[in-house]
Each structure stands twice: as structure tokens, then as C-alpha cells.
Structure 1
Amino acid sequence: MALNNNEVSEPCIAEFYAGKSVFITGGTGFLGTVLIEALLTSTPKIGTIYLLIRDKYGSDTRERIKRLLSKQIFQSHSAETLKKVVPVVGVMDAENMGFSDEILKELRENVNIIFHVAATIKFNTHLREAIRTNLTGTMRCIEFGKSLKKLDAFVHLSTAFCNSNYGGLLEEKVYAPAQDPYDMLKMAENNEAWNDIKARADWLHITKDHPNTYTFTKQLAENLVMKELAGFPAAIVRPSIVYGTYEYPVEGWVGNASSGHLGFFAGYYKGLFRTIYGNSQSKIDLIPVDYTINASLVLGWYVGTRKLELPEVVHSTSGDVNPITLGEYTDIINDRVRVHPSQTMVWIPSAKIRNGLRYTVYFYLFQILPTMLWYWPEKLLGLGIKHHTSLEFMRIFNKGIKAFHFFLNKNFQYSTKNAMRIGTLMHPKDMDRYKFDASDIDWSEMIERNFSGVRRYYFREKGETSLKHAIIYAIFKTLQYIGLAIMIWWSYKLCTGINWMFGLDLSSPVLLSLGLLLGSFLIWL
């Protein structure tokens, strides 16, 4: 039975979550962290928040939860409030998640709501590992949910990219998978099945037309949710490219800036990543993390207050209501980085869209080569980016950035009709606090807030933007022009050397013209 919004005296969503206990997988990750904070802030009467923690190399669980709750995003919460977050050690893909009988009994008695956020988000994770984490892990979470004394809502965090093997407008429905999910569950547990599946090339006959193992296994997981949770209060939320917060709990919180495309954003901010692969006219479907979390909380309330035959599916995307192209994105980051520049840079932040051979040549000539030459001076002098040399930083993030090439060179469209329909059913007070309609986002403002957030929360540079930052930016801008002049001069000297080496006897005006031509080509490149 749906709640009557006109009969309640407080926002319906806070009322729905009041007194209920929540179980979260993936709570130590970027989305999970924002979800925990949102539950504590917007639903102050929330019960216990059980957080699945993996026993990671024997590390102390209490220390891990202490590090999580010491993040700046939780600074406004009292110690008493943070006590609501209770870690439970388990294994995502194990039977009963590896819980002890005592813990399992407590959870089954107390938990009412599940947010399944955990996943391996690396696009090219080994196929078997991706199946075990994204598919087997989802199945274990479903089994756990169905065993609860009272399940009020099950929210599965998926991805808008899971159906990238389909073309055209992607609707808010579960699409037929490339393989049967139950067959894949069995194959993951069969050691002999993997004897002939050793190289990435061997995966292709299994993943078929999926670009990577991530989208393949996430599509399978959605099909499990749809089949196993029919008749249960369940929902699937599909975010696109998740960036830092737009508004809640603070503007521009980016966590460790290693999720998805944020790795590029952080590297670009320091002037390290200077080229973008893709189609300038393609949409880059961005969504702030707080909008995705808001959508998840709203969907938990929605499915928990209605009788549904099948799980509800919504896109947490922007392209259908507030599109931004990759070309527009590039223009905005190049413009807004100067408003909140870093106090230390590898080079002045500037990026261009390149494709094919032009991208490859530029990447190795102007990104890899300079960072290799700078490696030992940076190492010896103790410089670098966040305790890494520029080359190490590039290695950390570049593989993930390359995985986005497929998506940034195509024009995916995501319908949000279902999400918008559900949004109209919210209490008026909830519409402001739980915003998830991307049509009101100012992309220039969002990028600017995220630049400020990368500087403050990831690189831990103190202070607001000051005259010092403006001066540093101006110095690097001047160095850039000096560098371009040096490039042209070296091009002239190279032409002079070739002329002497091969005895071409070209005149100085010809050599100068060739040098200018070569220098201009390198600058264009």
C-alpha cells in the first residue's frame, strides 16, 4: 500500500527508514561511503547500519572502520551517531557470506533493507574473478535478503553501461543477457572449465559483443535480481559516469578520486593527463554521486511502500534530460580549472580530444616520454603527485582511463522516464533533499566544484583559492608559451642537423620554414 503523502507530517522517505536497520555491501567504496553519510544525515532515526567488511589480509576490522569514519565527509557527525555503523566481517561470494551462525542470526532478525553496492569496477578484471564478484556475490546477497525475517527493500547498484552491447535508446528494463546467469555461476565454480580459458582472447566467445568483463557480469547480475526477486520489494539503479558530489553533504567531495573517470579528472588537474580519446559530439553522461545515492534512497522507499510484481529499474543518468558532449566537457574543464588551480602542477592543465594515430603519438610523445625523463629527478627530489612520481601516478590510473575509450567514442542514450515518474510521487520536502533529476545541474558549476574538491579532499591542499594560486597558474601559463617556443627552436635545429648530416645544402630560409612547419605540427598534435 502506497503512503499517502498528504497525511504525513514529515518527509515520507525519512519516515520510511526510521527505526529500520540497513545492510550495505561495498560500503567502504566511493558510492558506499556517500550512502552511509546520507543515511546518517537525512534519516537521523535510522537503526543500525551493518557494513560488510572483507577480512583483508588479516587487517584489524576496527581499524578499517575507524579509517572510514574518520574521512572528512563524516566530520559533522558525533561519535554517538557514528556508533550506528557496525562492521560485520564476511566474504561476498561465500555461502551465507561467510558469517558465523551468531552474526547470521542477528542479521536475519534485525536487517530490513539491503543496499548491494559491492562490485569489481575494473573494466578488464579476469573473467572468472568478475563472475565471482559481480554475479556470485549478487546471488549470495539475494539469498541473504530472501532469508531475512522482514525484507522491506533490496536496492541493487548496477551501471548504465551494462547494456552497452545493445544500440539505440536504452530503456529502464532488464535486457536479455549474452549468457545464462545460472550457467555462468556454475562455470565460475568449475576449475576444469577454465583449463582452456587462459587468455583474454578466450573470453570473447563467452562475453560475445560486450566491451569488457565488467558490463558482461553486471548485465548477468541484473537478470539474477529480476528473476530471483520477482514479487519482492526490489530495485535496480543504473548510474553512468559518477563524479563527485554536487551538493550533499558538501560540494565537490570526490573520495579517493580513483573511481571510474575521476582518475582522469585528478590527473588532468595536475597537468599530467592532457589528451582525451573520443568523439567530440558524443555525450559524456555524467552524474554527481549524491544524485545516484539520492536515487537509491528514493527507490528503497518506493519499492518498500508498494506491492510490485517485478523489481523496479531506473537510470541515474543525465544525457536524456541535460546532455553534455565530450567536446563541451573538454571546453569546460579547460576553462574552469583556472578558477581553482592547484598550488603544484606537473604542467598547466589543458586537454584536447584526439583519436586514432594522433592520440597514440601524442600519448607516448607528450605524456609517457616526459614523465619517464622526469622520473628520477622527481624521485630524488621527493616531488610527485600524492606520494607517487608522475609516472607511477599515470600507471595507476591510465589503464582505467583507457577502458573508457569505448564509451566516449559512441553516443549512448538512456531513457529516464521511469525515474522521472517516480520522482513526481515524492513528498514536496523530499523533492529538495533527495534530488536525482539531473536537468537542474549546471555542468560548469559541477566541474568547478569537483576541481575544488579534488584539491581539498584528494590532494589535501589547504586553503581557499587565493592570489598565490593565481600567480602559480600564471607562471605555468608563461612556461607553457616558453615551452612552445623551445619546441619550434628545437624543430629548426633538428632540420639544420638533418641538412648537415645528409649534405642537402638547404638555405637558411628553407630550414627556418621547415622548422616552423615541424614545430607547428607538433604543437597541433
Structure 2
Amino acid sequence: MTVTKVETNMEVEIPDRIALTFKDQNILITGGTGFLGKVIIEKFLRCLSNTEQIYVLVRPKKGKDPNDRLEEIFNSALFEKVKEQKGLTALQKAVTVINGDVSLPGLGLSAEDRKTLCEKINIVYHAAATVRFDELLKRAVLLNTRGTKQMLDLAKEMKQLKLFAYISTAYCHLEEKILGEKPYPPPADPHKIIKCVEWMDDNVVEAMTDKILGNYPNTYAFTKALSEGLVEEAMPQIPAIILRPSIVIPVWKEPVPGWTDNINGPTGLLIGAGKGVIRTMYCNENSYADYLPVDIAVNAILASSWNFIYHKDHEKRVYNLTSSNEFKVSWAEIIARGRKITEKVPLNGIVWYPGGSMKKSRLLHNICVLLFHMIPAYFLDSLIFLAGYKPMI
């Protein structure tokens, strides 16, 4: 794969350095059924098809085995372009499903699968995590932190490992006013936290959650910070890097502009406001939020991987994947753009005319919550209940 450049009427072929970096490499991806993971897989299949094989760690879910879940992924609109280019059969041959679960002891891997991974894998992208802010602490620790520890243990057994990339978040060191591209001390000893939640009953862990979290606002940020500590600890033993994307939003350009499969982040806010459900938000409308389109996030992940492998730059181990000062979009601008869209293309299931606003005053916001959120919700739920259905608002 080359890029052609024209200079003084001469064509100069420049090799695609990223494609060459991944040529004939075996890739392992965890979290491949998630939002970011799907886009990573699609990017490899469409633009980096010279890889040897892509292995995806997938767990059974809701009665569906891992292979069925992969087929569901390929049926997504995200993969239409690459299926047109190469055909479904080629995609199925390029991706191998590994039955496993990062939240289980030993990653839920069979001895045979573990041996295969240890013998063949060159590059690991560990993206599996629960991204729910309200996740129970025990589950968040077992999946996000213990899962990362077990992936690192597996990576230490890999005989041909060139890179272990941990997908973290730019929002797991909230005490830092300026986030540097460097490791930070974890908020607690991750090994002790893992042991603590393993032997404690669920209700005991939940009773102690606030004390364990300390100044951290949610279990997601806390467990991600713990996981970074584990990755930093393993850096002298394996070629590991930490990647910190900010708020990942729907596709910007490729392969399908606007594609998403969830309503996390600002997407949920815009849908809620567009349906008339969200009427008020306690926020400074002139503040900026750091967003990163998922296709740009994946490009940055691949570029960071190339930089680490190609330059053998083992001094730089942490990459912040953020828009920062490059692209500033205020909350007011986001809402204004969303309002224009819903005026042109109304959403289905609207319960109220799209609107609402942001409030700097907490008192005014709370009054609006009572008048425009709670009272209408109870009223509508009462009508739903009287009609013989389960309340839902």
C-alpha cells in the first residue's frame, strides 16, 4: 500500500509506514464488540489487510456464542463498505474468535487457546472495559482492573510480543489540572484492591464504595486509574504503552459519517433533548468539552503504535489522544447544532417539543428539574400505568 506524491512532474512512491508496521502481524483485540473495538476491527480489515490474522476475545452473551456475536458485528452498517470491497467470506477468514472473558479468572481461556495466543500474537489492543459510570465497584474492579492484570500476565507469556497497548481514558486523573503524557501514581494499590473485592461479599464492597473511591466521582475513573498503575508496573517487562482518548463520539468521516451504536456522552444528551425529555442541564454553556471522533481515535491509536514499534521509542510510553486546544467546541454550540438538526429531521418518539437550556445557577436548574422533568414524568407515567402498561418515564 503506497501513497503517490507529485513533485516537479515526477511521481514519487512513498511507502505506507503504518501498513508496513502491521504487515504479517498477528493482532489480539479485547473489547472488539464495543463501540471503539468495532471501529478498530473495521479499520484493520479495510486499510490494513496485510496483517496475518486478527484475533478477537469475545464472551458468550444473552445465549449467543462468540461466533454468533461476531456475525452480528459484521452485519452492522459500519462494515458495509469493507464487505463491498472484499466480501463477507474474506472478513470471516481474516478474523478468528477466541472464546474468553476478561472478568473471569484466567480470562476464561482454554489451555489450547492460551497456547495459541502465547505462540502467535505480536500486538495486543486491550480495550475491554465497562464504561458505565454507575457500575458496581466489585464488577468494575474485576472487569477493568483485574481483567487488565490478567491480560498483562498473558502478555508476559507471549513469545513474539512487540506491543501491548492499553486503552485508558483522559479522565482517570481528575486531580491533575494539566494532564501530561506521563504515568501518574494510582489512587490505591491495585493488587490490594483486587484482593479486597475478590474475597468480600458484594454488599460489603458496596457499603465501602464511597470510602474506597475517595475523591474519585465514579467507579469507571477509579478502576481505569488503577489499571494504568498495573500497566506502568509491567513496562520494564513488556513493550507496553498507555493510550488516553477523551470523550469518544460518533464517526466523523470514515467509513460511515455519523455512525454510532450507543448513546453515551453528548450523543445521549442530544437525543434526550431532541425527544423533548431533557429540558435543563446544570452546566456552563461557554465551557469546552474535549471530544474525539471514533475514526480519529482509531487513527491516533494506529499512529501511536507505529511510533512505538518503528522508532523503538521506549521512552515515550503514554499518549494523550485528545482534541485539547486544536478544536474547541462549546456546550452552547453543540446544543445549537443539535437543535438545527432536529428541526430539519425530527426524531421519532418525541414526548415534548425539543428545547431546554443550560443553567449556571444550581437553584434555577433544580427548580426546572422539578417543573419540567419530575412533574411531567410522574404525570405521563400515571397515564401509562392507567392504560395498563409499565411506567417508563
Confirm whether residue 269 of structure 1 aligns to residue 274 of structure 2.
Answer: yes
Which residue of 2 is the match for residue 291 of structure 1?
A: 296
Structure 2: distance between partners of 1:378 and 1:286: 37
> Secondary structure in 1 aligned to 2:220?
helix
Q: Which residue identity does 1:112 align to in structure 2? A: N
TM-score (norm 1): 0.66
Please point out which of 303, 308, 315 is paired with 1:303. Answer: 308
Q: Is the 8 A contact 1:236 1:311 kept in 2?
A: no
Please point out which of 113, 118, 142 is paired with 2:128. Answer: 118
Compared CA separation, residues 196 and 61, structure 1 to 2 (3 A): closer
In the TM superposition, what is the alpha-carbon distance from 1:121 to its structure 2 partner? 0.8
Confirm whether residue 357 of structure 1 aligns to residue 363 of structure 2.
Answer: yes
Task: Give 5+ residue unaligned stretches, structure 2.
Answer: 1-11
Deviations along 1:178-234, one digit per CA (max 9) or x if unpaired, are 211222222232237x775442xx323322211111111111111111111236332
Aligned ranges for residues 232-247 of structure 1 at < 5 Å?
232-247=238-253
Q: Is the 8 A contact 1:240 1:287 kept in 2?
A: yes
Please point out which of 186, 189, 204 is paired with 2:198. Answer: 189
Structure 1: distance between partners of 2:382 and 2:68: 35
Percent identity between matched residues is 32
Which residue of 2 is the match for residue 169 of structure 1?
A: 178
In the TM superposition, what is the alpha-carbon distance from 1:375 to its structure 2 partner? 4.2
Which residue of 1 is the match for residue 161 of structure 2?
A: 151
Q: Is the 8 A contact 1:31 1:289 kept in 2?
A: yes
Q: Is the 8 A contact 2:155 2:238 kept in 1?
A: no
Structure 1: distance between partners of 2:50 and 2:387: 52
Aligned ranges for residues 115-514 of structure 1 at < 5 Å?
115-164=125-174, 166-191=175-200, 196-199=204-207, 202-230=208-236, 232-255=238-261, 257-310=262-315, 312-342=317-347, 345-354=350-359, 355-375=361-381, 392=392
Which residue of 2 is the match for residue 518 of structure 1?
A: none
In the TM superposition, what is the alpha-carbon distance from 1:351 to its structure 2 partner? 3.0
Structure 2: distance between partners of 1:357 and 1:294: 43
Deviations along 1:58-112, one digit per CA (max 9) or x if unpaired, are 4332222211111111112111232122221112033431211111122222221
Q: Is the 8 A contact 1:283 1:319 kept in 2?
A: no
Structure 2: distance between partners of 1:177 and 1:101: 32
Deviations along 1:467-492, one digit per CA (max 9) or x if unpaired, are xxxxxxxxxxxxxxxxxxxxxxxxxx
Which residue of 1 is the match for residue 119 of structure 2?
A: 109
Confirm whether residue 64 of structure 1 aligns to residue 74 of structure 2.
Answer: no
In the TM superposition, what is the alpha-carbon distance from 1:41 to its structure 2 partner? 1.0
Q: Is the 8 A contact 2:119 2:158 kept in 1?
A: yes
Structure 2: distance between partners of 1:209 and 1:127: 15
Q: Which has the larger radius of gyration?
A: 1
Task: Give 5+ residue unaligned stretches, structure 1.
Answer: 1-6, 383-387, 395-525
In the TM superposition, what is the alpha-carbon distance from 1:378 to its structure 2 partner? 6.6
In the TM superposition, what is the alpha-carbon distance from 1:294 to its structure 2 partner? 1.1
Please point out which of 79, 100, 107 is paired with 2:110. Answer: 100
Q: Which residue identity does 1:361 align to in structure 2? A: I
> Secondary structure in 2 aligned to 1:301?
helix
Deviations along 1:18-51, one digit per CA (max 9) or x if unpaired, are 2212111111111111111111111021222211
Which residue of 1 is the match for residue 100 of structure 2?
A: 90
In the TM superposition, what is the alpha-carbon distance from 1:53 to its structure 2 partner? 1.1
In the TM superposition, what is the alpha-carbon distance from 1:54 to its structure 2 partner? 1.4
> Secondary structure in 2 aligned to 1:314?
strand
CA RMSD of aligned residues (A): 2.6
In the TM superposition, what is the alpha-carbon distance from 1:173 to its structure 2 partner? 1.4
TM-score (norm 2): 0.87
Q: Is the 8 A contact 1:233 1:311 kept in 2?
A: no
In the TM superposition, what is the alpha-carbon distance from 1:349 to its structure 2 partner? 2.1
Q: Which residue identity does 1:94 align to in structure 2? A: L
Q: Which residue identity does 1:241 align to in structure 2? A: I
Compared CA separation, residues 369 and 237, structure 1 to 2 (3 A): same
Compared CA separation, residues 228 and 167, structure 1 to 2 (3 A): closer
Structure 2: distance between partners of 1:60 and 1:197: 31
> Secondary structure in 2 aligned to 1:169?
coil
- In the comparison of the two structures, how many residue pairs are matched? 376
Instruction: Considering fraction of residues, name the structure with more strand.
Output: 2
Which residue of 2 is the match for residue 421 of structure 1?
A: none
In the TM superposition, what is the alpha-carbon distance from 1:332 to its structure 2 partner? 2.9
Structure 1: distance between partners of 2:182 and 2:224: 14
Structure 1: distance between partners of 2:164 and 2:13: 24
Q: Is the 8 A contact 1:231 1:311 kept in 2?
A: no
